[in-house]
Structure 1
């Protein structure tokens, strides 16, 4: 906190120099006008002395301007340094946070979680395949083996074709789908309109 006090004092010193600069500038203008008046009054020696004093004060004003410029550069440097310090403090906090997170979760933990996630995805895929009626790898292998056996001329044990004749469908059962079709037809026409 010592630098905050010094920084405030630095700003105050700059402001005092600016006030001094304004005061000298006003005084120089007054002395220039007074020197003109003295010349008009014929008091050349007094005017010359006043102009020498004015010249000295001009030099002081230049030095003051340089000092103000230096102080302003210092103020800006300090302000920028304060911003940099805040950035560094932020980086330090972020780094500490990352380190504590790394301690909580190691690379082994991440690998284990990724493995568990992959296992869960594989398990869910198997469930999806079962629910969708998809063939498993074993089923695919059995189908390919059966296809190979057929193409090689091997006799594959297929189920027997039924030998009894197909039963006839009664007339009433044949008419049932036609009645349902006629019944649903007005509903379809309404939907189409």
Structure 2
């Protein structure tokens, strides 16, 4: 079952890869190969230069000349590679930018289609009708508010006050019937026991005893 799921997942992944993606990948692979070959030729040229110098020291001028010619050929190859690398980089950049542009165009297209559908749902006449109905409803509600806030006469106001007084009067007897608990009277004089105890404390016998 794992293999089956793996195949399904790979097919789903491959379906997302476009032809432009494949082209970009192929160009990048070619660029990497050219860079590796350029590095290899550069190292080989350095070695040939050192060998040519050694041949000159040994008096082998012809061999040194042959190596320098081969080195010169390598330099021309590197120049061509630089041009190819520049073209590949430009092509990769153009393809990637074209993909971005394509996505932007798709987004704009989807947005335009959505706007068209909205415009079909709500035409100018429909919008004007809705706005007119909304304005009329607001005006009608304002008229109702005006009637409720300022529609009572002075006689009506007097009736409201009279009814309020009547409600208050009806509620007062209930409060009076319940009654208010009476509080104990506050004594006007000090208790005799406290007065007697204070006199005994101030007597000469008590002071001598202390």
TM-score of the alignment, normalized to the shorter chain, above 0.5: yes
Mapped to 2, the partners of 1:26 and 1:130 lie a distance apart of 99
Matched residue, 2:64: 47
Matched residue, 2:134: 117
Mapped to 2, the partners of 1:22 and 1:128 lie a distance apart of 88
Mapped to 2, the partners of 1:130 and 1:40 lie a distance apart of 119
- Higher-Rg structure is 2
Deviation for aligned residue 1:51: 0.6
Matched residue, 1:4: 21
Decide which of 7, 17, 23 is 2:34's aligned counterpart. 17
Across the aligned residues of Structure 1 and Structure 2, the Cα RMSD in angstroms comes to 1.4
Deviation for aligned residue 1:101: 1.2
Length-normalised TM-score, structure 2? 0.61
Mapped to 2, the partners of 1:46 and 1:131 lie a distance apart of 116
Which consecutive unaligned segments of at least 5 residues does structure 2 have? 1-17, 152-210
Deviation for aligned residue 1:10: 1.4
Deviation for aligned residue 1:15: 1.3
Length-normalised TM-score, structure 1? 0.66
Q: Which moved more, 1:21-30 or 1:53-62?
A: 21-30
Decide which of 24, 27, 30 is 2:44's aligned counterpart. 27
Give the 3-state SS of the residue equivalent to 2:59 in structure 1.
Answer: coil
Deviation for aligned residue 1:4: 2.5
Count of aligned pairs between the two proteins: 134
Matched residue, 2:147: 130
Which consecutive unaligned segments of at least 5 residues does structure 1 have? 135-193
Deviation for aligned residue 1:82: 0.5
